[in-house]
Amino acid sequence: GIQVEQSPPDLILQEGANSTLRCNFSDSVNNLQWFHQNPWGQLINLFYIPSGTKQNGRLSATTVATERYSLLYISSSQTTDSGVYFCAVGSGGFKTIFGAGTRLFVKA
């Protein structure tokens, strides 16, 4: 089946810094989503982005489907951005596979 790799596995930032999280996948996809799991365990959908670029406030995402990767940009990070960021991909139907995540800690 399709493989998903996220990097880096862990990231520590000073508040106000910018960061880029990466998601590589092993096959063509028709479904790619980014999620944030906050310290209380809630999973929040950030983007549905099988291709192209989207922006939502301080967050933006780009997926280059032909090269099999997606990037999540966080600008001017805040302590509330802490948590785990997951990339989830699907290559057929709705069977979506999650990566292992990037654990982010933003220091005040």
Partner 1 sequence: DAGVIQSPRHEVTEMGQEVTLRCKPISGHDYLFWYRQTMMRGLELLIYFNNNVPIDDSGMPEDRFSAKMPNASFSTLKIQPSEPRDSAVYFCASAGSSNYGYTFGSGTRLTVV
Contacts to partner 1 by CB under 8 A: 31, 33, 35, 41-45, 47-48, 86, 88, 93-101
- The CB-of-19 to partner 1 minimum distance in angstroms stands at 21
The answer to whether 91 and 27 have CB atoms below 8 angstroms apart is yes
- The CB-of-48 to partner 1 minimum distance in angstroms stands at 4
Nearer residue to partner 1 within complex by CB, 15 or 27:
27
Nearer residue to partner 1 within complex by CB, 14 or 41:
41
- The CB-of-70 to partner 1 minimum distance in angstroms stands at 14
For the chain, the residue count is: 108
The answer to whether 25 and 4 have CB atoms below 8 angstroms apart is yes
Nearer residue to partner 1 within complex by CB, 19 or 33:
33
What residue has token string 């990566």? 99
CA distances from 106 to 11, 29, 50, 86, 101 (A): 8, 31, 28, 17, 16
